[in-house]
Amino acid sequence: MRFLATSIIRAPERIAEIPQHYAAEAEQVSRLLGDGSMREIYFDAGAATAYVIVDAADAAAARAALATLPLVECGILDWSLATLQPLPELADYFAQRAIAPPAWWPAGSNPSAISP
């Protein structure tokens, strides 16, 4: 399953501590990217928010992977999680025309198994 994780600041009074965790956070992000748990990571500087695409068996596994990040472990950040799925109308479009979906389309997605 694919998830969109959005960072949440749990301890705004501890924001000044974040830089001391940068190296450990970067190392753990690298591990999660390497093992495929974390697919992509983005940062919105204007909103001071990180967004992560997570691939995991279920929401519990996604949360467990994100919980290994040092800023989560120390209680400064947490993550909200949204389940992502292909848009059923696009899946039907590709299936009806017997054309290959674009490269970004999840492999093996079954349009009939997706409820709108």
CA 34 to CA 8: how far, in whole Å? 24
Place of tokens 């039907």: 92
Neighbours of 97 (CB within 10 A): 8
Task: Say whether both 13 and 46 belong to one domain.
Answer: yes
Q: Using one digit for the tens of pLDDT, what is the confidence trace for 61-107?
A: 999 999 999 999 999 999 999 999 877 777 677 677 766 666 776 66
> How many domains in the chain?
2
CA 116 to CA 107: how far, in whole Å? 19
Quote the pTM value.
Answer: 0.75
Task: Say whether both 61 and 99 belong to one domain.
Answer: no
Task: Say whether both 69 and 107 belong to one domain.
Answer: no
Q: Using one digit for the tens of pLDDT, what is the confidence trace for 23-71?
A: 999 999 999 999 999 999 999 988 889 999 999 999 999 999 999 999 9
Question: What domain range is 75 assigned to?
Answer: 2-84
